[in-house]
Structure 1
Amino acid sequence: MLAILTGIAIITALYLARSIVAPITFALVLGVVVAPLADKLEKVGCPRVISASSLLFVTSTVIVAAFLLLEPLLSALVEQLPAIKRELRSWVAAMSEFIRGIETLGREIEETVGADGAAETESALPSVMDALWLAPNFGSKILIFIGTLFFFVLTRPELYAAAGPLKERLYLADRAVYRYFAAVTLVNIGLGTVTAVALGLIGINDAVIWGVAAGLLNFVLYLGPLMIMTGLLIAGLTQFGGAAALLPPLVFLAINLSEAQFVTPAFVGQRLQVNPLVVFIAIIFGLWLWGPVGAIVALPILLWFGVLMNPKVMSSIENT
């Protein structure tokens, strides 16, 4: 009972303090991924403060660039809401010819996605960057993220030295996660490139941006590809209509399945694999706890603790 109450208290504290804990955790996860680069730079004579500053600049630039690349895509989808709703109404009209009683459902859908409602929805939805900059305490979260990432990379050797017997395990867990995400990053770059080429061949607008989005969101297992498929279905509805609207998500599904079944196992191997159910629950729990940030950091935290607590995994990595 004490363990249950302690777990509930910890989860409640993490939820209530999410405005502080979420950016700190996100920074620590990125720090674990980039800190081995700082170690390598230090070995070749680069001062720790310079390597930490450089990695902070590069990491922040990549995150900002990701938002800037995805924002036009999401804004375009929002602008296409009226066309999407018109296509949905045509689908409902076609279905009503075969299903008795569908007229009532069709009227409800038309009332929900009517022209007036579409205009109100379109005007009410801000762009992604507007929402970010207008969000309460967003500036303080940025400062927390930057400060945590910089000082973690800068003082990581001292922090791990203070851990005593856990020092070697901490370095080993960091190295395992770093290697894993280096491999996954290469896979996702390939996935994004293939997705952009395939969508361009079938005539999807902004195929390059879709490829970038596919590569970035593929870091969030299961949910990321599902979001891309949903977005491509919307894009198919606005550009093709009818049954052809299913072509873009089906193309991406084929690419994603090929990546998940053949490419990722070949690059990443079996060493750090975790039960898919555990991964899915961890991502859903992280999404509930801290929103999108929680979904992003759930798998890195799961892998880090798994390697830290599993001697067999650690020994296998140590021998590679």
Structure 2
Amino acid sequence: MIGLFSLAVLYTLYLARDLLLPIFLALLLSLLLRPLVKGLRRLRVPEAVSAILLVTLLFAGLAGAAFSLTDPATHWIKRAPVVMHEMELKLGDLRQSVETARSASRQIEEMAAAADQDIDTVVVRGPSLAEQVLTQSQVILAQAFIVLVLLFFFLAGGRSMLEQVMGAMPNLEDRIHYATIAGTVQKNIAGYLATVTLINTMLGLATAGLMAVLGMPNPGLWGVMAALLNFIPYLGSGVSLLVITIVSGLTFDNTLAIAAPPLCFVVLTTIEGNFLTPVIVGRRLTLNPIAVFLTILFWGWMWGIPGALMAVPILAVFKILCDAHKPLHALGALLGGKTPA
């Protein structure tokens, strides 16, 4: 029964990902912005007004970033089909082996064509990469609108909703227990998200500045990419490094100039990953690196890149819930150190 229930939960999470993704993302954003709502409430600003203000500012920031980065991102997406050809020309010595393989492939194709001269061939052209990205962008925009609407409701009515749930519990001890859990989740996850967002923003600004100094095209685009992908521990910085290396190889001809952008980015991510993040974030939440990596793989498999981005906060919430329930203390200890109260 437990196995069947687990399979049913996994299937539901996968099948309902388009519905659950905006809800999860709005919940995480509400935890991040909740301290600002509390601060404005102390200034006698109603929560609904605070929610409208914060959602409007968030929408303006996202719209401004999308407007400024759409053209360079579209340019590189359209160039994607020829990137491999350009990289092949840059690789030099490997080009001969590639040409040999292509020649052998053409010979095989000619032999096959000679054997089947009477067979008509129909080539079906699929959508281009740019068309696929455009279609996916429309889905992302629709989900972003849903996230903003849900975020408004969570910020404007989340506190009253939680109070109603707590008030419906007949046992005073249960009310105190679950109110403490809710407070711990809100405090630690909000602190974690705010800290990581600040660190990643600094990394993105430093990356954009270095890329501009080194002469890379569209430095702002690579800075935003580095900041966003760095929310995925271990894997995100590797993807950013790969993209920066490819762009550098396509942009410059000198070996030193090609190596400078990726090497500088490695220095930045080394400082961030080995000094800043462990010292600052480790004070709030200590998670097992193996558990983090497996969680990223799982949610990335279930929900793609958005799932990988939300994997660590989801793991952190689950660990806090484990620490708050005695039967799950062993699992919480396996996931990381003791959660601070």
Q: TM (normalized to structure 1)?
A: 0.82
Give the distance between the partners of 1:16 and 1:195, measured in 2 at CA.
37
Quick check: 1:291 aligned with 2:314?
A: no
Aligned partner (choices 252, 264, 271) of residue 258 of structure 1: 271
Structure number, greater radius of gyration: 2
TM-aligned CA distance change 1:93 to 1:207, over 3 Å: closer
Superposed CA deviations along residues 166-223 of structure 1, whole A, max 9, x for unmatched, are 1221121111111112222221222122212222222211223322321222122223
CA contact (8 A) 2:48 2:156 kept: yes
TM-aligned CA distance change 1:142 to 1:179, over 3 Å: closer
- Residue 105 of structure 1 is matched in structure 2 by 101
Structure 2 runs not aligned, ≥5 long: 108-124, 167-174, 325-332
Quick check: 1:317 aligned with 2:330?
A: no
Give the distance between the partners of 1:183 and 1:28, measured in 2 at CA.
17
**2:131 match: secondary structure:** coil
TM-aligned CA distance change 1:94 to 1:315, over 3 Å: closer
Give the distance between the partners of 1:108 and 1:68, measured in 2 at CA.
46
Q: Which structure 1 residue ranges, 4+ long, deviate > 6 Å from structure 2?
A: 108-111, 312-316
Counterparts of residues 18-97 of structure 1 (less than 5 Å): 18-81=17-80, 84-91=83-90, 94-95=93-94
TM-aligned CA distance change 1:237 to 1:303, over 3 Å: same
Superposed CA deviations along residues 1-42 of structure 1, whole A, max 9, x for unmatched, are x22221111110111111211111111111111122212211
CA contact (8 A) 1:197 1:207 kept: yes
Superposed CA deviations along residues 94-116 of structure 1, whole A, max 9, x for unmatched, are 1266xxx66543558999xxxxx
How many aligned residue pairs are there? Answer: 303
Q: What is the CA distance between 1:47 and its match in structure 2?
A: 0.6
- Residue 305 of structure 1 is matched in structure 2 by 318
Q: Which has the higher contact order (CA 8 A, sep 6+)?
A: 1
Give the distance between the partners of 2:127 and 2:255, measured in 1 at CA.
26
Give the distance between the partners of 1:145 and 1:297, measured in 2 at CA.
14
CA contact (8 A) 1:71 1:129 kept: no
Counterparts of residues 1-320 of structure 1 (less than 5 Å): 2-81=1-80, 84-91=83-90, 94-95=93-94, 103-107=99-103, 124-126=129-131, 128=133, 131-133=136-138, 135=139, 139=142, 141-161=143-163, 162-163=165-166, 164=175, 165-241=177-253, 243-244=255-256, 245-311=258-324, 317-318=340-341
Higher mean C-alpha deviation, range 184-193 or range 305-314: 305-314
CA contact (8 A) 1:89 1:110 kept: no
Q: TM (normalized to structure 2)?
A: 0.77
Give the distance between the partners of 1:108 and 1:159, measured in 2 at CA.
68
CA contact (8 A) 2:13 2:302 kept: yes
CA contact (8 A) 1:52 1:153 kept: yes
Q: What is the CA distance between 1:70 and its match in structure 2?
A: 4.2
- Residue 117 of structure 1 is matched in structure 2 by none
Q: What is the CA distance between 1:45 and its match in structure 2?
A: 0.6
Q: What is the CA distance between 1:252 and its match in structure 2?
A: 0.9
Give the distance between the partners of 2:46 and 2:277, measured in 1 at CA.
36
Give the distance between the partners of 2:92 and 2:265, measured in 1 at CA.
28
Give the distance between the partners of 2:106 and 2:205, measured in 1 at CA.
38
Give the distance between the partners of 1:273 and 1:107, measured in 2 at CA.
55
CA contact (8 A) 1:95 1:102 kept: yes
Q: What is the CA distance between 1:308 and its match in structure 2?
A: 3.1
**1:317 match: secondary structure:** coil
Give the distance between the partners of 1:49 and 1:230, measured in 2 at CA.
44
CA contact (8 A) 1:81 1:122 kept: no
TM-aligned CA distance change 1:124 to 1:207, over 3 Å: closer
Superposed CA deviations along residues 260-293 of structure 1, whole A, max 9, x for unmatched, are 1112223323431211221122122222212222
TM-aligned CA distance change 1:171 to 1:59, over 3 Å: farther
TM-aligned CA distance change 1:31 to 1:227, over 3 Å: same
Q: 1:150 is aligned with what amino acid?
A: F
CA contact (8 A) 2:47 2:156 kept: yes
CA contact (8 A) 2:191 2:284 kept: no
